[in-house]
Amino acid sequence: MQAEILTIGDELCRGEIVDTNSSWLAGRLWELGVVVQWMTSCRDDAEDMRRAFRDAAGRAELVLVSGGLGPTEDDVTVDIVAELVSAQPVVDPPSLERMQRRFERVGYTMTPNNMRQVRVPAGAEVFANSAGLAPSFGVTIGKARVFCMPGVPREMQAIFNESVASRVLAMAAGGERIAKSVYRVFGKGESHIDHALTGIVAGVPGATVHFQVVFPETLVKLVVRDADGAAADARLARLDAELRERLGELAYGSGDESMSGVVGRHLREHGATLAVAESCTGGMLGSLLTDIPGSSDYFKGGFIVYANEVKERELGVRAETLRAHGAVSRETVEEMAAGARARLDTTYGAAISGIAGPGGGTPEKPVGTVHIAVAGPHGTKHKHILWPGTREQIRRLACYWAMAVLLKELKTHG
pLDDT the model gives residue 33: 85
pLDDT the model gives residue 31: 85
pLDDT > 70 fraction of the chain, expressed in percent and rounded: 100
Beta carbons of 295 and 302 less than 8 angstroms apart: no
Which tens digit of pLDDT belongs to each residue from 189-233?
A: 999 999 999 999 999 999 999 999 999 999 999 999 998 889 999
Q: What CATH number should be reported for the domain holding residue 181?
A: 3.30.70.2860
pLDDT > 90 fraction of the chain, expressed in percent and rounded: 93
Residues 395, 274: one domain?
Answer: yes
Beta carbons of 226 and 206 less than 8 angstroms apart: yes
Indicate the residue type of 198.
Answer: T
Domain end point (choices 254, 289, 316): 254
Residue 313 binned pLDDT confidence (cut-offs 50, 70, 90): very high
Beta carbons of 121 and 78 less than 8 angstroms apart: yes
Residues 137, 98: one domain?
Answer: yes
Task: Judge whether residue 46 has pLDDT over 90.
Answer: yes
Residue ranges of E strands in 341-390: 348-354, 369-376, 379-386
pLDDT the model gives residue 194: 97
Residues 266, 144: one domain?
Answer: no
Higher-pLDDT residue of 302, 32? 302
Residues 23, 148: one domain?
Answer: yes
Backbone phi, psi, residue 33, to 5°: 85, 20
Task: Give the mean model confidence (pLDDT) for residues 354-375.
Answer: 96
How many domains does the structure of the chain reveal? 3
Rounded Cα distance, 259 and 288, in Å: 9
Could you list the residue range(s) of the whole structural domain that residue 324 is in? 259-413
Higher-pLDDT residue of 406, 173? 406
Q: What CATH number should be reported for the domain holding residue 329?
A: 3.90.950.20
Task: Give the mean model confidence (pLDDT) for residues 246-261.
Answer: 96
Cis peptide before 216 (omega within 30 of 0): yes
Beta carbons of 6 and 42 less than 8 angstroms apart: yes
3-state DSSP assignment of residue 135: coil
Residues 18, 167: one domain?
Answer: yes
In terms of Cβ atoms closer than 10 Å to its own Cβ (0-12, 13-18, 19+), residue 165 is middle
Residues 125, 19: one domain?
Answer: yes
Residues 250, 108: one domain?
Answer: no
Indicate the residue type of 370.
Answer: V
HEC per residue, 190-240: HHHHHHHCCCCCCCCCCEEEEEEEECCEEEEEEEEEECCHHHHHHHHHHHH
Residues 248, 284: one domain?
Answer: no
Q: What CATH number should be reported for the domain holding residue 30?
A: 3.40.980.10
Domain end point (choices 239, 254, 269): 254
User: Widest CA span of the chain, in angstroms?
Assistant: 84
pLDDT the model gives residue 60: 97
pLDDT the model gives residue 414: 60
Residues 226, 340: one domain?
Answer: no
pLDDT the model gives residue 86: 97
Residues 371, 269: one domain?
Answer: yes
Residue 48 binned pLDDT confidence (cut-offs 50, 70, 90): very high
pTM reported for the whole predicted model: 0.80
Rounded Cα distance, 63 and 57, in Å: 7
Beta carbons of 348 and 376 less than 8 angstroms apart: yes
Beta carbons of 148 and 221 less than 8 angstroms apart: no
Task: Give the mean model confidence (pLDDT) for residues 305-316.
Answer: 98
Residues 89, 26: one domain?
Answer: yes
Domain end point (choices 254, 270, 300): 254
Residues 308, 380: one domain?
Answer: yes
Rounded Cα distance, 130 and 54, in Å: 29
Whole-number mean pLDDT of the chain? 96
Residue 352 binned pLDDT confidence (cut-offs 50, 70, 90): very high
Backbone torsion region of residue 9, taken as left when φ is above 0, otherwise alpha when ψ lies between -120 and 50, otherwise beta: left
Task: Give the mean model confidence (pLDDT) for residues 299-304.
Answer: 98
Task: Give the mean model confidence (pLDDT) for residues 260-270.
Answer: 97
Beta carbons of 340 and 365 less than 8 angstroms apart: no
Task: Give the mean model confidence (pLDDT) for residues 20-42.
Answer: 94
